[in-house]
Amino acid sequence: MSTVTTTKPAAPRVAAAAPSEDGRIGLRGNLRHIGALVRRNALQIKQDPESMFDAVFMPIIFTLLFVFVFGGAMSGKGNQEQYVNYLVPGLMAMMGMNIAMGVGTGVNDDFKKGVMDRFRSMPIARSSVLIAKIVVELGRMMVAIAILLAVGFMLGLSVHSVPDLLLAIGLSAVFGASLMWIFILLGLTMKTAQAVQGMAMLVLMPLQFGSSIFAKPTTMPGWLQAFTDYNPLSNLADAARGLMNGTPLGHSVWITLAWSVAITAVLMPLAVRRFRQKT
């Protein structure tokens, strides 16, 4: 999995915002800092196009691989189109989780290269550094989802309506942004980027394959069905599938939003606190 880094990282030109009497930076100052840092991270991608390889090629490879390897087994030979409509909404959920891993390795790498030492001397809110990374990774996620949908449409994907498709994309982005706080915390805790990737894979694999992304839970043994029912990726995949295919949603949308809020509420303060301790 690639990380968004450069050989010679440069600190952005952040306009100093006058802090309040208690030393806090106001909302306008925070937004200005986030904008400058987003530009800095976007320029890194421009200078290192290889950092986009995962966002560009992962949706193509995964879609073609699973459709033509498992499509016949899941829907019968010659009925891959039916499996495409089941798989692609689930892969939207998976794209967010895989792209989110790049945030943790990027944060860890910035500490190793001394970029965070420069930020330490600047009068900026510590949270703005992390939020800017999430904004840029959300942009990479949108690129990955756009390519995923393009490949899906070429393979026969159909959607119920464009507004519902946009809602499914938005729901995936909200959940993906919440997951990024998990990987940011890992990036701030682990000593190396390789350790972050290793730990992330231990989290990713059970959640991805123990879900309804690739196969219906009814085909799984009872104990795995129980895990799948509580897996937040299953709820996101079911919600996206219901929106895109026009099937009943149940409570999947609200459960996904609840998971997103809960993960952000717990992990964001921990990540910001850990970041302040290191800087």
d(CA 152, CA 33) in angstroms, rounded, equals 38
Average pLDDT over residues 118-140: 79
Residue 272 confidence (pLDDT) above 70: yes
Say if CB 230 and CB 255 are below 8 A apart: no
pLDDT of residue 91: 92
d(CA 35, CA 25) in angstroms, rounded, equals 15
Q: What is the mean pLDDT of the chain?
A: 82
Residue 271 confidence (pLDDT) above 60: yes
Decide if 3 is inside a domain.
no
Decide if 12 is inside a domain.
no
Residue 19 confidence (pLDDT) above 50: no
Residue 72 confidence (pLDDT) above 70: no
CA torsion angle 183 187 191 195 (round to 10): 30
Domain membership of residue 167 as a residue range: 27-278
Residue 240 confidence (pLDDT) above 80: yes
More confident residue, 146 or 70: 146
d(CA 121, CA 70) in angstroms, rounded, equals 53
Residue 252 confidence (pLDDT) above 60: yes
Instruction: Please list, in sequence order, all residues whose beta carbon lies within 8 angstroms of the beta carbon of residue 108, skipping any fewer than 6 positions away.
Output: 187, 188, 190, 192, 193, 196
Decide if 166 is inside a domain.
yes
Instruction: State the maximum Cα–Cα separation within the chain, in Å, rounded to a whole number.
Output: 70
- Secondary structure class of 144 (helix, strand, coil): helix
Say if CB 148 and CB 94 are below 8 A apart: no
pLDDT of residue 7: 43
Residue 14 confidence (pLDDT) above 80: no
Residue 202 binned pLDDT confidence (cut-offs 50, 70, 90): confident
pLDDT of residue 16: 46
Say if CB 221 and CB 201 are below 8 A apart: no
Top mean pLDDT of 35-39, 99-103, 114-118, 243-247 is at: 243-247
Top mean pLDDT of 4-13, 33-42, 79-88, 146-155 is at: 146-155
pLDDT of residue 39: 86
d(CA 38, CA 68) in angstroms, rounded, equals 38
Residue 238 binned pLDDT confidence (cut-offs 50, 70, 90): very high
How many domains does the structure of the chain reveal?
1
CA angle 186, 171, 58 (to 5 degrees): 60
pLDDT of residue 178: 92
Q: Token pair for residue 73?
A: 């087994």
Alpha-helical segments (H) within the chain: 27-47, 53-75, 80-112, 115-120, 126-154, 162-189, 193-209, 222-230, 232-245, 252-278
Residue 50 binned pLDDT confidence (cut-offs 50, 70, 90): confident
pLDDT of residue 117: 65
Residue 18 confidence (pLDDT) above 70: no
Decide if 19 is inside a domain.
no
- Secondary structure class of 249 (helix, strand, coil): coil
Residue 162 confidence (pLDDT) above 70: yes
Number of residues that make up the chain: 279
d(CA 167, CA 240) in angstroms, rounded, equals 8
Task: Identify which of 136, 123, 115, 234 has the alpha carbon closest to the alpha carbon of residue 180.
Answer: 136
pLDDT of residue 112: 78
d(CA 163, CA 84) in angstroms, rounded, equals 20
Decide if 209 is inside a domain.
yes
Say if CB 230 and CB 256 are below 8 A apart: no
Average pLDDT over residues 236-243: 93
Decide if 18 is inside a domain.
no
Q: Token pair for residue 32?
A: 């200005």
Residue 5 confidence (pLDDT) above 50: no
Decide if 2 is inside a domain.
no
Decide if 149 is inside a domain.
yes
